[in-house]
A and B are shown apart, each in its own frame.
Chain A
Amino acid sequence: MKQVTLSAQDLDIGYQEGSHGKHVVHRNLNLSVPRGTLVTLLGPNGAGKSTLLRTLAGSQFPLNGNVFLGGKDLYSLSLKARSQTIALVLTDRTLSGGLTLRELVSLGRQPYTGFFGRLNREDKDIVQQALKDVGMYHLQDRYVAELSDGERQKGLIAKALVQEADLIILDEPTAFLDVVSRIEIMQLLRSLAQQKGCSVLLSSHDVEQALMQSDYLWLLTAEKGLQHGFTEDMVLSGMMEDLFPHSPMVFDAVRGTYLPPIIHQNVCLITGDDALRIQWCENLLIRHGIRTIYPSNATDVMQDLGKSYLGHITVNQASPILYKSREGERFVCCDFQTLAQYII
């Protein structure tokens, strides 16, 4: 059994409004982040993700219940102890533009340095190592104001690394990043969890990376509160649909993505042995609102189809795509662009 780092029982989170009145965002939350795992918190905007993360990080008081870190109540730890156990990475604007990247990362050693924040040899080595880990070693003399958003974010992650915390909490770390940085950062966080044994908790809107890199998923919605579980179990449980209670989004458990609802009821039949190209043919058809059927279920459906049946696509390995329309016209397509012209 993995040692639990962060846990909470019967937690109520929300805001204190004035001297009376509480605005409770979520009640009776029971959760835990085991050591050395990566947990992603998913949910629509306004569901309370940031509130939850702030409460778990100790920035905001819970309205009820407790947050435990390594078995001890979070608030029983001194501010200094907390700073050595939890590291935050946020999307806040900062005034750190006039610091060099190295100085920014060095701020992460404050929990361990003396009155003036002087770094000793060991501190400096830790800073250098963290810069290498995030791939920012060559930019350490640049001013933070001159870095791109992605570079700055990686710098802030390096700052969290030098805090040598057991738990790293990140609020939308990949929000402003390009595709490359997004993937790099998720991989970095994954390796932190797996190799260094940190616990990583992050909120994200990047479902694809979340499914790939997380050990556990937390789904937070206003309607259903917090549902959590092991990633693959969550995917196959049907709970992923709960993220969109009011809209007809469908979660495709095969692809691991949300599909737009198919409004038109046009249908195409697909046969063939090239699984890869069939999958992408389906992608094309979904985009144009066309449902696909396969021989296995074709005969049941064919009778009721009539006008909505468009044609039959054959995709075999090492040969072009063949399309036979309802009227009997045959087309040979060497690429999907050509196929699209005939189908639409």
Chain B
Amino acid sequence: MLIMSLLLVVLFVANLVWGAENIPMQDVWAALTTGHSSNDAWTFIMLESRLPQAITALFCGAGLSVAGLMLQTIFSNPLAGPSILGINTGASLGVALIMLLLGGNLQVADYSFSGYVSVILGAFIGAMCVLGIILFFSTLVKSNLMLLIIGIMVGYIASSAISLLNFFATAEGVHSYMAWGMGNFSGVTTDQLGLYVGTIMIGLIISIFLMKPLNALLLGQRYAENLGVNIRRVRLWLLLAVGLLVAITTAFCGPVSFIGLAVPHVARMLLGSSNHNGLLPFTMITGAVIALICNILSVLPGATGLIPLNAVTPVIGAPVIIYVIINQRRLQYFN
């Protein structure tokens, strides 16, 4: 845990230093503490671009990994991830509607949103709609497995709607949508940072209070109920937390793949435990670390352009998982 935290700090700083232009450490420190440094351009890049991007990556990684962990526990399914319930796809559908159907503009009552903000709103509303549908079904369906299948089905419906929209769209529209779908951490401006971080913090705090029932759920629904866990209520709070985390990250960063599914496994194997009391914080930190690594890699190529995030995450993540599996003598949590 300690090593991971240190790694986190190191990577955070690295994110600030490296990039299209390498900014020296003293200037980074000066810009952070006083708001001024030897080079005004560097200060600007630091405070307006690098810092928000690093913070975005950090919280995105933490939020999505925790969402993945919670889903894996409650659905007793090691292959569950934030994209499995279709919330991701719902966000994508919202974005697709905005970009491809409405041409990038949204009119609600007296308010008019265009361009960038409309995309964010569309993603968030789309995700929340799917979340609402899942929550509705969660009141009807008692079995977790059945709820999972419903979520997958809803995801499929949203997915096919997206395909339809893409089919009838213009070439530019399709390209914009695809570019959005690649994911990136640079989408959060400093004034939006508060909202972004705040929402993710809400999701993370809810998850912390779910640590105890999540541990009970490792034994299965019947044992958990016998230990006093109110399954319905826990499921509701969990879905809310997951929904919030996935909606906000997808809205601002696009659909980030892989981190939510893979990080909980890496965390379990490195920590050597399924006990959520330690696993949950460790997952947060590990997720942030991995996101920061991916962020650095995606900006490295230089001034010409960023590698899309979703191309980087699996390339880093998959070998890590394979390495850990081969080197871990005992995989304890499948019994």
Contact = CB atoms under 8 A, between A and B. Distances in A.
B334 interface: yes
Task: Give the most central of B209, B219, B330: most A CB within 10 Å.
Answer: B219
B75 to A, nearest CB: 10
A90 B218 CA distance: 14
A152 B219 CA distance: 12
A28 B222 CA distance: 26
Contacts of A80: 228
B contact face: mostly helix, strand, loop, or mixed: loop
Contacts of A144: 332, 335
B223 A94 contact: yes
Contacts of B257: none
A90 B222 CA distance: 9
Nearest to B276: A117
A1 B215 CA distance: 41
A107 B335 contact: no
Nearest to A83: B228
A163 B275 CA distance: 19
Contact of B230 (A57, A79, A87, A99): A79
Interface in B211-243: 211-212, 215-216, 218-220, 222-223, 225-230
Contact of B73 (A87, A95, A100, A110): A95
Contact of A59 (B73, B225, B268, B334): B225
A272 B257 CA distance: 83
Interface in A152-168: 152, 163
A111 interface: yes
B226 A94 contact: no
A117 B332 contact: no
Contact of B274 (A82, A97, A146): A97
Contact of B212 (A94, A103, A108, A110): A110
B205 to A, nearest CB: 12
Interface in B298-335: 330, 332-335
B211 to A, nearest CB: 6
Contacts of A309: none
A103 B274 CA distance: 10
Nearest to A87: B226
A143 B215 contact: no
Given A82-B228, A95-B218, 4 more contacts: A79-B228, A96-B335, A98-B272, A145-B332
Interface of B: 73, 76, 209, 211-212, 215-216, 218-220, 222-223, 225-230, 268, 272-275, 277, 330, 332-335
Interface of A: 57, 59, 79-80, 82-84, 86-88, 90, 92-100, 103-104, 107-108, 110-111, 113, 115-117, 143-146, 152, 163
